Amino acid sequence: MPVFCLDGFREPAKVTVTVTSPSAPEIRHIRLQQLAGIPWLIPAGSPAGHYRVRATQGGRSATAEFEVRRATRPRMWITPDDAEPGELGGPPGSVFWVQS
């Protein structure tokens, strides 16, 4: 799962992040107020290939790319691999509540 980390942007002004898939017509926009460690869950059925990401805030912008590949075998992992009681952990859509 890609994690977006933005630097050089001004908080608390919103940043627009645009993710473009290999099948260019599919574009997703995300409006962010937090700028560090934003996980982006790749939707099921998304095409494999290179994705482009562009973050903009007024006249400021930054770009990056990442690659999506099909799994060659089943895998499972938990992130973060440790947590304090009462802390939320895991990627969006699979958040776990740690009981004390």
Tell me: the pLDDT tens digits for 80-89? 666 676 665 5
Tell me: the pLDDT tens digits for 20-67? 888 875 566 677 666 777 777 887 788 899 999 998 999 999 999 999
Rounded CA gap, 51 and 97, in Å?
32
DSSP state of 64: E
Per CATH, domain 3-73 is 2.60.40.3080: yes
Q: Which pLDDT belongs to residue 40?
A: 79
Beta bridge partners of 39: 3
Alpha-carbon distances, residue 82 vs 5, 29, 78 (angstroms)? 21, 31, 9
Note whether 46 and 66 are within 8 A (CB): no
Residue extents of the structural domains in the chain: 3-73
Between 93 and 56, the more confident residue is 56
For residue 44, give the amino acid letter: A
